[in-house]
């Protein structure tokens, strides 16, 4: 997942776009090493050190990764899209945002 996400961040630099992670690793210090080694530039919520943490439990996440794509109004528009579909869904929502701004 990281290479794809890195390419999204690079391709969409300067666009109104962000990745927000919810991380369920056990060890914060180990995770910090991963984040620097994998060049993960986007911010993540800390899920309390467990896949059974408060955020993933509330959002009923039972498989990883789980993806939600929100539009500019914060509305859930796509779930669990991957690969090219993920790119296409983001591009569609960015185009909607631009059309509205005009």
Partner 1 sequence: MKPTQMLLLLSLAAPAFALHPARQGSIEVVKDSVAELRAEFDAVPKNQKQPGFDQKALDDKRVELAKRARALMEGNPRSEPAVRIRVWMVTSGVEAGSSDSLLDELMTKDIASPALGDLLDVLRPNSRPDARARVETLVEDAGDRGVRGLALRTLADHVKYDLDGLRAVEAGDVSVATHAKRHGDDRSESLRKSGANEVEKQYVALLERVAKEYGNVLDSRGRAIGPRAEGALFELQQLSIGKIAPEIEAEDIDGTTFKLGDYRGKVVVIDFWGHW
Measured distance CA(84)–CA(86) in Å, rounded? 5
Rule CB under 8 A: say whether 6 interacts with partner 1.
no
Q: Which of residues 50-89 bind partner 1 (CB under 8 A)?
A: 51-52, 54-61, 64-79, 86
Contact by Cβ (8 Å): 97, 73: no
- The CA-atom distances, in angstroms, between 27 and each of 36, 41, 57, 73 are 15, 19, 19, 34
* Out of 7, 34, 41, 85, the residue judged to bind partner 1 by CB under 8 A: 34
* Out of 7, 20, 39, 82, the residue judged to bind partner 1 by CB under 8 A: 20
Which residues in this chain contact partner 1 in the complex, by CB under 8 A? 1, 5, 8, 15-25, 28, 30-32, 34-35, 38, 43-47, 51-52, 54-61, 64-79, 86, 90, 93-94, 97
């Amino acid at each position: 997942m990281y290479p794809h996400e890195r390419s999204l961040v690079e391709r969409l630099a300067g666009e109104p776009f962000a990745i927000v992670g919810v991380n369920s690793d056990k060890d914060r210090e180990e995770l910090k090493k991963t984040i620097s080694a994998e060049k993960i530039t986007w911010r993540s919520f800390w899920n309390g050190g467990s896949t059974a943490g408060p955020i993933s439990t509330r959002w009923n996440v039972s498989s990883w990764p789980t993806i939600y794509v929100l539009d500019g109004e914060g509305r859930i528009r796509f779930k669990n899209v991957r690969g090219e579909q993920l790119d296409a869904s983001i591009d569609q929502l960015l185009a909607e945002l631009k059309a509205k701004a005009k």
